A and B are shown apart, each in its own frame.
Chain A
Amino acid sequence: MTIVKDRLKSATAAPTRAARLNPLIVLVVGAAIIVALTYTLPPFRTYQLATVGAYLCVTAGLTVLTGLNGQLSLGHGALMATGAYTLALWQNKFNLLAVGIVVAILVTTAVGAVIGLAAARLRGPYLAGLTLAVAVVVPSITSTFDETFNSDQGLSVILNPPPESMTVEQWQAWLCWGAALITVFALTILTRGRFGRDMRAVRDDETAARLAGISVARTQVSAFVVSAACAGLAGALFAVIAQSVSPGAFPLTLSLFLLMAIVIGGLGRLTGALIGALLLVALPAIAHEIGESAGSQRLEGNLALTFFGVVLVVVMLAAPGGLASLRIPFRRFRTKKH
């Protein structure tokens, strides 16, 4: 029983460092910074800023799922697609964006709950394989039901013009960052409480968590549902930014990019999710510039892909203990190995 207590202690000890920051202050300061940026950055940078915000929604949710709860999902690109298509269909019928975003979140949450129920019973490579299958297969649904989803062409999204005092980019950045800050705020509150403690306990040792009276399955499903809701929100925001949705926007590589973002950003910390979201926008942009200066279209997307892959592999090999060592002190890992 002392083992269980130790585990729980280590599980609860982790967030104290982050706890010094008051989430409400972060929220207000963050909002102020974003507003200031949208009035100083040129339109294209503002658009990129909006994209970072949209990515932050999903990487934050995924950080909670993988970093705090230890579940790997390769299917969050598909969940984003779910949110995006829901919003597109809603907008084209009702054109009521605020409600549409909520509906997109709800629908994705429901889908996420179904996957999460299955995921809670699976471990390691089986879970990875199932979510990988979701990521590969779900985009093809658009071809199966092409009357609704218009197969590979996708759908355009009807949107009202932004308020007259703002540019489109400013409006997009405000929308995305408003959503992102609320998401991060909510996740911070959520993970600091009992739910966060339960998740860390489940991640570190399922048996010990069970002995301590934590329902492992319920915790895992909850974590999946929360992260799915975040992915749905992000998908809806991407549909708004791009003003269209198509299966090509949600390939398998998107899911892999998301994974990379949270691994590199540092698992289990929401600041890591922000770093990851920034990388997701910055790296392709840099690769794009290199490709343009080299005059090679082939380089563009593929350079980013290769770079992401190399970084992912190097981080995993260089961090002693890979994923785990990003949260467990090295000493503990070493004594466990023998």
Chain B
Amino acid sequence: MKESTTDTKSSSEGSEENPEAKRKRISNDDLYRRSTQFEIWSYTAESLEAAKKKANAAGQIIATKRFNEAFAELKKASPEVFENNKDKLNPESLLNLITFEEESKYLNYYTPNIIQIAKFFKMPTQVKLTAVSFFKKFYLENSVMQYHPKNIMYTCVFLAAKSENYFVSIESFVKALKGTDAKDILDLEFIILSSLKFTLLVHHPFRPLYGFFLDFQAVLLHPSPLMYDVSVNTLGTLYDKAKNWLNENAVLSDVAFLFTPPQIALAAMYDVDKRVTDRYLKRKFLRDHADKLDDIKEEPENGDVKKEEAKVKIEGDKNIDNDAADSTATKTHGETSDIQTQREQYETLVRTIRKCIKVAKQVSKSPQDEVKEIDRKCFFALNPRKLIEKQVKKIAKEAAPSEVV
């Protein structure tokens, strides 16, 4: 487990001894950075892909080992069959592992089912999202070639329901799932908890979305409406559409590994209504100059920015050795760099939001027939004995007629 981080300061420390650090307020962002979601479960696009590949590779190794053991055992039981049919009964031709791409498709197929199960039990959104999160995290640590996704999926819903305070007894839970025993679920619960590295708290974008809904009203409607066609009602519609957007797109995608909940919430709003959301962001980040900027046409605006950029660059170089380059720059260079910082923040945010929208919409539906084939492979990866036995039977069947004759 991680070491506890910076906040080991004793409670009496602070005011007199460390005037420098004084009055630095803890923001929600600071708090988020200390959550396990940020510390353990946040990735870059590259590191996320690497984690998935690693899980698949580890799964292949385990499945291969399992296969080899079964093969050796069966061979020992009837050596002559294996000896006589080397061309058909050898690990190279039989072993058919699930590739990285297949594993991704397979998991994408399962994710929507989690939501269906949660819906069936009339569980709140919170449970749905947490269950999906557990499921996705589990398969960053494990492969479908180790644990078949079906029962993992059920157990994730069961555990998520408990973790989100929506308790369902195991009897009523398995009663609704045909062909699954209580034991199947309960045995996996602990394994899932370990794979989750004992972290259960998941921050979802719905709370920040609600916060933005309120702040949109504050910023865009008060003291007087900024846009002639924006009212409480239109913002309410925007909010509802954004909720649907999150439920339809974001939930199934990997955005939660790559972006913070407020970024995801803003992405939803931006994609639902770019004009209103952009106006809000401009007002928020470029507040002192927003009105001016709105009046300026595209070209001169860009011209100004370039000039400002150049200025800050020159002055910024002087501060290159300064640890607190950022804050110093803002303080000493006054308004110009203030505008500059704000503009940069705004632009970075919009870029991030756009990226988030792209990722959220990336999830493609896995074609049924392909999934069926992967499902078959998965079954045999988990039960190699059955695969080999099946082949032995097939050989025997092929051999049988000739023997009769």
Q: Do A and B come from one complex?
A: no
A-binding residues in B (CB < 8 A): none
B-binding residues in A (CB < 8 A): none
